[in-house]
Structure 1
């Protein structure tokens, strides 16, 4: 067996790279990163998934499902917080794996993250298109079906709104992370305001009788609901790709990761609790927009377009942060020599990896324009869970390998917390459809071919560069 595939990068080597011309600008503070985390977690899930999970899985006990999913996600978040504060380098789980598990596993997780973020960007762009079309329709402007749907869907030829939002985000990210975070801040404030507006209105219409029966599907439904809505929480990992652009990562990351997860959990639980108090859980089987639906049922029709705007903002912020994460993983892998140097070239003025951003924008636009992403989106789930498992395992391994390393933030109760994260994530992987496992394996096989014939030979650690 080629021992080169187990070669590792030292933390000192990684930190040295960030200090030269190949390093990114450190411009993000704690508030900006916290809002990026909230922007990545709270998106379409709170406007869509709350009703679906309640109606089909858990009923009013959906608040327990959200609590279970949030606690489970907390286990992984604690592991991410330790790594991000200790290794403030672009690349997230890819970089952490390179330090602890070796080059091959780092490549696998990096290749996995490329797929994860690419599919998220394409899928969320399609969702964004659907919401903007609904807003236009509510204003009396009917767009041609051929230009708002992919081929094979209601006579569509191309999804132009999805392409336009990807092009807009591409331009914004090229301009720089500071500008991107400023836009994200505005978007997050708008969507949080809309969510709080719904809670403040809905709480006055709660009927306690709607909470009975509290467990219509039993405890098995509660756990199935937790498995479904777990994916509403993923997104906090995307902000760790910004580690190289944060001013004080040792303090900022634990606050941003754990803070965004806590705030998002509270809002998810509050919204789902109000929804099921306002209307019987089974009524949400009729809609994919439960928040707007509930207000309409109460006769508050003016709020429909307001909620749609809030949902649009939620989706936009998820799109922005996910696209950002994808470009930074590309950048990190390219700088290490595992992908062509083309992807890590920085713009002379903006100091952003322009080429990588443009390539991601092109491929995501093609997917969003011509494909219905429903089945492909399942790859996001398995890719994220694989990353969570590897990061959690890496915490245990690095504690054994390098106990002397300075850890500004330490994951508590190691190895208990990482093991709980691994067990829960692996269980969720087993719940995904078999076709998702097959597609994921095929993607990894393609990646291994690229690594063997290019990455292995061109890695900076090979000495050939």
Structure 2
């Protein structure tokens, strides 16, 4: 059963290539520049198999998104899917988890990483005033680009994704010949707890693809584009991760712990000298900026969709008369990223991110099952994952396993956050009812 498409006034300009690169850009972020050491230290040569295992876990979740994304093609991504299946309360919770628990804090953290990276070369950016000016320039550029249109935003994302992938590809190509195969052996299987903690860290290196579907109201021919975009984007991410881990592990081996904070930079320096470390430092900044640019393209569409459904203030649903973009949603989202970037005291709030994305995935998988069960004969052709409900059930089991690995503080903060959002929802509902607003 496909949900009836809303006329949102947005232009469908995003094709398979744009969606695939958007997914790659959102997923391959700053984490890949440090992750190989974290996993390599824990698992040694067995780390490559952890990538495969984690990739398979993410694949079952991606298949659920591919199916429900062809059933619900309005803006909002995860929010739109959950709202269509379970109503506005569940959609309200998911929208807040996405916007605040995942996107705003995550992008603000990335902006700080950008400033820190630039400060290594230009120490002036360690000063507060210069960091604020840097945030104004970078976020102002992304604000203007995205208000001008999704097409312009996607064009910029395509460019920056290619730029940030080049140094990673260079490490793979030039590093293969320097691999010491003895560094890829393992003498024993890692313990279940060790493997679980490493997999949990890896899982979040694969997370982020779902944000690209926030602009689903601007995707051309979504019944075809969404499955293909997820397939190509996910496959490219897994291949890049596997090759990078193999090269880094094969070159560094037991020396991994000595370069825990920057394993890729260490390999680049070993391959081409000191300039290699500098190139990777710049690449890390580009990678972070690219992820923020994708977030600014996609997440405001979640705010826009929520506004149209009465979950956020009405002005956030306004469309620019010339550019046909949700300019108020984009502006407010960028402003919040700026505030948290400057504030910088959000370490405890950042604990929400891990739990938030898992809960979002769980709700989307459950929504996929519900809409599949409501399907009627004669429905229009949509993408259907093979195996009936087997894949969604496997996805639920994987998510439950990862949720069980969260710390007590993460669980408590998440429950408090959901409780506060619930209070906001019911207060808004009460006020609307008193005012006679449907």
TM range (shorter): over 0.9
Q: Does the 8 Å contact 1:33/1:239 carry over to 2?
A: yes
TM-score, structure 1 as length reference: 0.88
Partner of 1:6: none
Shift of 1:160: 4.7
Q: SS state of the match for residue 348, structure 1?
A: coil
Instruction: Spell out the pairing of 1:401-412 with structure 2 (5 A cutoff).
Output: 401-404=374-377, 405-412=379-386
1:176 and 1:218, CA in 2 relative to 1: closer, same or farther beyond 3 A?
Answer: same
For residues 215 and 354 of structure 1, the distance between their equivalents in structure 2, rounded to whole angstroms, comes to 55
In 2, the alpha carbon distance for the partners of 1:456 and 1:34 equals 42
Shift of 1:183: 0.7
Q: Give the count of matched residue pairs.
A: 434
Partners of 1:280 and 1:148 lie apart in 2 by 41
Match of 1:439 in 2: 413
Which stretch shifts more, 106-115 or 165-174?
A: 165-174
Superposition deviation, residue 299 in structure 1: 5.8
1:349 maps to what in 2?
322
Structure 1 residue runs of 5 or longer lacking an equivalent are 1-9, 150-157
- Separation (CA, whole Å) in 1 of partners of 2:254 and 2:398: 27
Which residue is 1:211 aligned to? Answer: 184
CA distance in 2, matches of 1:180, 1:361: 14
The equivalent of 1:304 in structure 2 is 277
2:65 matched to which residue of 1?
Answer: 80
What's the CA shift for 1:238?
0.9
Q: CA deviation at 1:386?
A: 0.6
Tell me how far apart the structure 1 counterparts of residues 182 and 14 of structure 2 sit (CA, whole Å): 47
SS at match of 2:34: helix
Choose from 132, 146, 152 the match for 1:173: 146
Q: Say whether residues 1:324 and 2:297 are aligned partners.
A: yes
Q: Name the structure 2 match of 1:287.
A: 260
Please, which runs of 5 or more residues in structure 2 have no aligned partner?
A: none
User: Is 1:382–1:429's contact at 8 Å kept on the other side of the alignment?
Assistant: yes
CA distance in 2, matches of 1:414, 1:99: 20
Greater displacement, 247-256 / 283-292:
283-292
The 8 Å contact of residues 37 and 259 in structure 2, kept in 1 or not, is answered as no
User: How far 1:273 moved relative to its partner?
Assistant: 0.5
Go from structure 1 to structure 2 and tell me whether the alpha carbon gap of 1:395 and 1:122 turns closer, same or farther (over 3 Å shift): same
Correspondence 1:73-112 to 2 at 5 A = 73-112=58-97
- Structure 1 residues 250 and 455, CA, compared in 2 at 3 Å: closer, same or farther? farther
Distance of aligned partners of 1:215 and 1:192 in 2 relative to their CA distance in 1, 3 Å threshold: farther
For 2:50, the equivalent position in structure 1 comes to 65
Match of 1:114 in 2: 99
Please state whether the residue corresponding to 1:352 is helix, strand or coil. Answer: coil
CA 1:292–1:360: 2 relative to 1, 3 Å: same
Q: CA deviation at 1:132?
A: 2.2
Structure 1 vs Structure 2 CA RMSD: 2.3
3-state SS of paired residue (2:97): helix
The Cα shift of 1:415 comes to 1.4
Q: Which moves more between the two structures, 304-313 or 329-338? A: 304-313
Partner SS state of residue 131, structure 1: helix
Q: Report the alpha carbon displacement of residue 64 of structure 1 after superposing the two structures with TM.
A: 1.0
**What does the per-residue CA deviation read over 1:388-440, in whole Å, with 9 as the maximum and x for residues that have no partner?**
10111111111222343435100222311111111111221221222222222
- 8 A Cα contact 2:3 2:73, kept in partner: no
- Correspondence for 2:221: 248
State whether residues 61 and 214 of structure 1, in contact with CA within 8 Å, keep that contact through their aligned partners in structure 2.
no
Question: Of residues 3, 18, 28 in structure 2, which corresponds to 1:32?
Answer: 18
Match of 2:3 among 6, 11, 16: 11
* C-alpha contact (below 8 Å) 2:67/2:383 kept by paired residues: yes
